[in-house]
Amino acid sequence: MKTPLLIYGAGGLGRELLSLIHALENFEVIGFLDDNISRDTVVKGVRVIGGAEVLRTFDKPVNVVLAFGDPSSKAAKAASIPHNLVRYPHVIHPRAVLQDAGSIKIGAGTILCAGAVLTTDIIVGDHTLINLNCTVGHDSRIGSYCSLMPGVHVSGEVLIGNEVLIGAGATILNQREIGDKAKIAMGSVVIRNVDAGLLVAGVPAQPMVSRPHTKFQS
């Protein structure tokens, strides 16, 4: 019997997550939660049943996975939902590889997409997205509420804080530290430590000055 599951977020990542879950045998998506899409809207054959208020209508905690690419939005949403209302299972695509699974710890609500490869002695926190074709090397630590976009490569012994966004195709060299809420622009190569809250870009990655009305591209 499959475990009922709600996806919080019916946007692009939510639809990708739905297709991921269709590849699994242990979960069945029973609806989307979304605060910005009208109730009863049908997305990819699945109905939007409402926003966070719906969680209080269940007679026991319900399984939820958060489909938010932006780390701060993801952390804020998790903080707004009382823990007694939900359970957060991790979701792992069957074509993700945990090379030494017994030595790898995956947090609650974390998502591993197809092609992700984690080698050995790795810890990943809660609600972290490791997207398509990412690799994570030995003895690395990735915090909670992070998002690694497609094709990110994390070398060995890397320490990544909480709410970190790493853009598509970026590479982190071994033994580097990335502080909380840092942002690594797409295609960057990180050869030095990155301080908390800093945006870096380029090859090698350098600190960037944020410009008004400029959206970070992941």
Query: What are the catalytic residues?
Result: 138
Please give the full DSSP string across 47-109, using - where no structure is assigned. EB--SGGGGGGSSS-EEEEE--SSHHHHHHHHHHS-GGGEE---EE-TT-EETTGGGEEE-TT
Distance set, CA 184 to CA 2, 94, 118, 151, 205 (Å):
38, 28, 20, 13, 8
DSSP 190: E
Are residues 152 and 166 in contact, defined by beta-carbon separation less than 8 angstroms?
A: yes
Amino acid identity, position 159: L
CA dihedral 201, 202, 207, 211 (to 10 degrees): -60
